[in-house]
Structure formats: structure tokens, C-alpha cells
Amino acid sequence: MPGYAVQVFDIRSTPNPSFVAPDGTRGTVKTTQPKFELHGRQINDPSPIAGPLFADMPVLRAVHRDAWDKVERIVIGAEGPGPNRWRTHFQPARVEQDQPLPLTLRERGGGWFFARLYDIKSRLIESLDFQFLEGLHDISVPRHPALPGPDGHQPIDVQIVHSEAVTIEVEDCQPRRVKGGTVVTLAPTVGNDSCECRISNGNATVRAKLSVDRIWWAIGAEGETPSDWKDKAIELVRGDFRATSSRALFVRFPTAVGGYHLFVGFAPATALRYPFPKSAERPLEIPLRDLGESLPANMSDAALRLWLKDVSANAESSVVATIVFKFKCTQCEFVAGQIQLVLKHAVTAHLSTFLALINDYDELIRALPELRNYPRYVHRCCKCNRLFPSDDNRPDRIFDHVCSKVQPHFEVVRNADRIRELPIMRDLPTAYRCWKGHVLKNPTRNDLAQHMLSEHRHDLYLELG
């Protein structure tokens, strides 16, 4: 930018850099860099909840030695609620960069404490919280991938290394005492990614939060955070990715994930990059319709993946969803993953729905033109059940039938199966009519099935989603 100059300072060596303006006035840049730190054998506490945790009493160190010039008094005390809690104070030795804490603090064996630094007017300069416990040596969380494998996340054993005098109490977990310490197993469930524990040595107690980095995901409606988190592939259908879909992929991250780039998609070349959420309490929400354009044409190979890439371009990935076909029978609730299974079901269970047997004699004659030479009517004697074919509907002309002294009564027979009982009508063909009006003469069951598959294939199933 013309007319401007940029100066870069390392505030660790120059805590309050000064400058001279063009008009000759002098200015100072005040920084908020901490002026004091606690140093010692710090425990690898994955999630410090009460300040840094030390294996022994730490020392108080000034980032710059001259910082002690403004400190008049250092107060050390037991942290926590309640009156009359232990505390002591001392004056710093200004010629030393490191200030040992009072021996009376070591005699307490550990706990949760504060260190507050005041100037000559009793104004607070800085306050630091810390914990230490004698006999506690280390908390070791084994290296593990944040993304699960094909079988999901695995249990992780967190080892707390300590002396025999130290005891461990853990919420929602059963600690296991081993040689040299205690093992706490964090089960591969959403609620067990972390747990709080109390570590005690006599009357001294510190708290630690054991946590592991695990990524979980779920499918739900947009804008509604789901509760059913998964670490294995979820089945989706093609319709979930349509432009009108309101479904979304939710990804839940651990608090400590950092230094990675996140990608979601069906292939590395078409995957979309997403930012990590600012808060672990709020999962990342990805509308599935955003991924619809990259859905592979070959659906049998479609798997939605999540990639984590570090700054060195090393990547790990997990399949979060597989895209499956689901087809439903149009006539019932039968569902299958292959069209052929639904077609086979429909032919077996619903053939009569699509192809109706023509069993009415009048309808059969109209359906098959070649039956026009057959008798137009068939009458049945209501007394003896004998059948009489004729070309008109005049049973009073049947003069050669007398089955009793009473004049017989006749009715018209329409059932084709009954008519085939007449010797002259035994060759009366069978016929079926489909939804579309096609008539099949003397078909076998295989003929009917083939007709359903060729003429009604797309009437037999629906693709779900």
C-alpha cells in the first residue's frame, strides 16, 4: 500500500514495541501476551478442566525477566468454592526469572490451586490456575484415527501412570488397575468419547478429563440436529440427493480436531471442501442435494465418503453412506434391492390382478371372434341340471326334454367352466384379459408371466426415494 510501512515484531522478545510517528510523537503497542507462565513436569491431560496438570509442584516463570519489577506480591491458594480455604503469599526474587512456589504448597501433596500476582497498589496483574499431584506421572492416550474403519470405532485404552498410593475414580467407566497405574477404556459409543476422573493421593485430589478424538455422522432433516449418531455406513437412496431433497448429512467433530481439511463426496476429484465448525457442540450440516450433481452414473459403485487431509496432503477417509436401490411392489408392501426380485414376486403373487380369467360365456364369445359359430346360449334345466345349447334365448322351444309331469323350468348358463361339461363344448377355449385389453387364448402360466413382464413391467414396481 503506497505511503505505508509494515513492521513485524516478535512480542516474545519485544513485548511492548514502540514507534515514532511522522510528527515526532512516540507511541507504544500494548500486547495481551501472558507475562507469566507455570513450568514443570506437565501431565499430558487431553482436556484440562482446571488449568494445566503437573506431576510435581511447578515454578512460576516470567516470560521476560523485567516483568517481575512490577510484581509486589504473589498469592497462592486453594481454588474452589467455600470460605476459609488455604492460601499463602510471598514476594518474588526479582533477579530470578523462575520463582519457586512455597514449600507449604508441596506439603499439601497436590490439588487445585491459583497463583495471583499483584502490583504495589494491590491491583491484579495476572491470575493462573493449575493442578499438581505427587505420585501421578502421566496420562497416555494412544494414537488413533479420528475417522472409523469399516467396522466402526474401536475401544481405546487410556493409561494413567501413577504410584501405588494414587487412586482413580471415573464417571460412567470402570477403571482397571494394572501394573504401574490404571487403565480406563473409552467404549466406541457417542457418549463415551470423554469422561471425567478424580485422581487422589491421600487428601489431595485433582480432576482430569480423558477424551479421544472420534468423528461421528448422521442423516436427518435439514435444520434438525439428529441424535442417532453412526460410525458405520448408512443406506441412502438416489432420491435423497435430488434437488428437492430436504435431507442432510450431519458430521460431529471432537473438540481437538485441527490442522485438517475436510472433503465430502463420491470421489476425490469431485469432493466438496467444507470448513470445520467453530464449536464442537454444533455439528457440520451438509444438504445432500449439494452432492447430487456428483452422484455416479454407476449406482452399484456409489459410496459417499468423508476425507480428512492434513497439511502434508496425507488423507484418511471413511464411507459414511452407501447408495442403494430399493424397489417396491405396486400391489403390496414387498420391497427388494433388485428389480428382478420385485418382478418375480409380482408374477407369483399378483398375476390374477393383472390378468383376469374370462369365465363369462357371453364375454368369452365377444373376446374371441372365432367362437361366433358356437351356440349363442346354453340353458340348464332347473329340475335335472341338464344343459341344452341353442342359438336363441327361447327355452320354451326345448320340446324334447321332459324330466317330470310338470313343465320344466330353464335358466341361462353363463359360467364357461359349467358349459364345458357339454360334450360338444369341451373344446371351448380359455382366455385371459389384461389391464390393457389384450386377450390371451389358452395361455399357459408361463405365457401369462411373460405377458406381465413384457407388457406390464413398469406397472409392477416403484423405485423408492
Instruction: Specify the CATH number for the domain of residue 111.
Output: 2.60.40
The total domain count for the chain is: 4
For the whole prediction, is pTM greater than 0.75? no
pLDDT digits (tens, 9 = 90+) for 89-111: 999 987 888 999 999 999 999 99
Q: Which residues pair with 308 in a beta bridge?
A: 262, 316
β-pairing verdict for 410-412 and 377-381: antiparallel
- Same domain for 198 and 293, yes or no, is no
Say if residue 279 is in the same domain as residue 292.
yes
Using the predicted structure, report yes or no on whether residue 15 has a pLDDT greater than 60: no
Do both 185 and 220 map to the same domain? no
| pLDDT given for residue 148 in this prediction | 92
Could you count the other beta carbons within 10 Å of the beta carbon of residue 22?
A: 5
Q: Which is more confident, 322 or 11?
A: 322
- Model confidence over 63-86: pLDDT tens digits? 887 889 899 999 999 998 878 889
Q: φ and ψ at 256, to 5 degrees? A: -95, 0
Mean pLDDT of 354-378: 87
Question: Is the domain of 200 the same as that of 230?
Answer: no
Residues 91 and 146 in one domain: no
Classify residue 142: in a domain, yes or no: yes
H-helix or E-strand containing 140? strand 136-140
- One domain, residues 200 and 224: no
108 inside domain = yes
In a domain, residue 48? The reply is: yes
Higher pLDDT pick, 293 / 409: 293
**Closest of 338, 323, 303 to residue 238, by C-alpha:** 323
Handedness of CA 356, 359, 363, 367 (dihedral sign): positive
Structural domain boundaries, residue 119? 36-133
User: How far, in Å, are 33, 361, 414, 431, 453 from residue 374 at the CA level?
Assistant: 109, 11, 14, 16, 33
Average pLDDT over residues 335-356: 91
- Contact predicate 119/125, CB 8 Å: yes
Q: Is residue 95 part of a domain?
A: yes
Which of 86, 104, 133 marks a domain boundary?
133
Query: Is the pLDDT reported for residue 339 higher than 70?
Result: yes
Decide if pLDDT at 391 tops 80: no
The closest alpha carbon to 385, from 427, 419, 342, belongs to: 419
Of 9 and 246, the one with more pLDDT: 246
Is residue 16, in this structure, part of any structural domain at all? Answer: no
* CB proximity list for 446: less than 8 A, separation 6 or greater: none
Is 339 within the bounds of a domain?
A: no
Q: pLDDT for 425-443, tens place per residue?
A: 888 899 999 988 999 999 9
Which of 153, 184, 211 finishes a domain? 211
What pLDDT is attached to residue 1?
55
Does a structural domain hold residue 341?
no
- Which of 187, 211, 235 represents a domain boundary (last residue)? 211
* Residues 367, 195: Cα–Cα separation, whole Å: 78
pLDDT band (50, 70, 90) for residue 31: low
- Specify if 462 maps to a domain: no
Same domain, 77 and 118: yes
